[in-house]
Amino acid sequence: MKEFIRVMKALSDPNRVRVLKLLQERPLCVCEIQELLQLAQSTVSRHMKTLEDAGLVEHERQGTWIIYRLITHCQSVYGSEMLSCLAEWLEDDDELKQMHRKLGLVCKIKETCSP
């Protein structure tokens, strides 16, 4: 039951669902997610911690960068089921469409961020 609650909590925030949708495209660092969501670094970090605790994302440290990606081997039955439905979510969300268009430009931002 705790797993179910963690997954539902993680998916209860639209920004966290948008992050999951963006991570379908490619792994992202915190500064890229910040830029796309227009949120403070501390807020993004809290969101990512919630997603990680739910078993939906994992991170990898590359020097001082933290890169997040969708989990491919979800151990939670609930998380696995939700990730399998992810492709169909928010297809008509205007904010998410704008973020997808901006995703290509965000790579340049990462180059200028100070890790």
> In degrees, to the nearest 5, what angle opens at C-alpha 100 toward C-alphas 29 and 112?
40
Q: What is the pLDDT of residue 39?
A: 93
Instruction: Answer yes or no: CATH 1.10.10.10 is held by domain 2-105.
Output: yes
Q: Which residues contact 40 (CB under 8 A, 6 or more apart)?
A: 34
Distance between start and end Cα atoms, the chain: 38
Residue-wise DSSP of 89-115: TTTT-HHHHHHHHHHHHHHHHHHHS--
Average the pLDDT over 32-60 and give the result: 93
Side-chain half-sphere of 73: how many Cα atoms within 13 Å? 0
Residue-wise DSSP of 58-87: EEEEETTEEEEEE-SS---HHHHHHHHHGG
Give the burial class of 110: count Cβ atoms within 10 A of its Cβ; 0-12 exposed, 13-18 middle, 19 or more buried: middle
4 or 72: which leads in pLDDT: 4
Task: Supply the DSSP symbol for 56.
Answer: S
* CA 108 to mean position of chain CA atoms: 19
Average the pLDDT over 102-107 and give the result: 70
Average the pLDDT over 80-102 and give the result: 74
Q: What is the pLDDT of residue 78?
A: 73
pLDDT band at 16 (very low <50, low <70, confident <90, very high): very high
pLDDT band at 51 (very low <50, low <70, confident <90, very high): very high
pLDDT band at 111 (very low <50, low <70, confident <90, very high): low
Q: Which residue has the tokens 């639209």?
A: 14
Evaluate if residue 18 carries a pLDDT over 50. Answer: yes
Q: Note the pTM of the prediction, 2 decimals.
A: 0.81
